[in-house]
């Protein structure tokens, strides 16, 4: 099991396994937050946070709720909308770097072509 947490520790995520790859996206939101994403089914991830600890930002096409810690501001994860879609992205910048040192990071052109650049 892998655990991640925001800077202040108020939001912790428990993940069942190391992802086979991570994604660095250059869309208008991801390039600003600097996250590196690992993908899971929502049902696989445990979010350990008290109610109101995370704040969701939902932009433009309203397909993702981007969550950040209300205390320290770290982007922790995104959740697909509608919530019936069982996809979730976890910000692996919040993991211990040794946990992901050997995981390939792919670069996604989310700003234009929605294809991987590598």
**Residue 59's pLDDT is what?**
86
Cα–Cα–Cα angle for 20, 48, 13, rounded to 5 degrees: 15
Yes or no: say if 28 and 18 are a contact pair by the CB < 8 Å rule: no
Tens digit of pLDDT for each residue in 27-78? 999 999 999 999 999 999 999 999 999 999 998 888 899 999 999 999 999 9
Task: List the chain domain ranges.
Answer: 2-108
pLDDT of 84 reads 66
CATH classification of 2-108 is 2.170.150.70, yes or no? yes
Pairing of strands 21-25, 104-108: parallel
């Amino acid at each position: 099991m892998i655990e991640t947490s925001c800077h202040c520790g108020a939001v912790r995520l428990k993940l069942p396994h190391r992802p086979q790859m991570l994604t660095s996206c250059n869309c208008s939101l991801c390039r600003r937050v600097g996250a590196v994403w690992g993908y899971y089914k929502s049902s696989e991830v445990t979010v350990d946070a008290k109610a109101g600890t995370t704040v969701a930002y939902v932009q433009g096409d309203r397909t993702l709720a981007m969550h950040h810690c209300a205390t320290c501001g770290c982007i922790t994860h995104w959740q697909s909308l509608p919530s019936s879609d069982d996809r979730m992205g976890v910000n692996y910048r919040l993991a211990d770097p040794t946990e992901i040192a050997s995981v390939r990071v792919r670069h996604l052109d989310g700003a234009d072509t929605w294809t991987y650049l590598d």
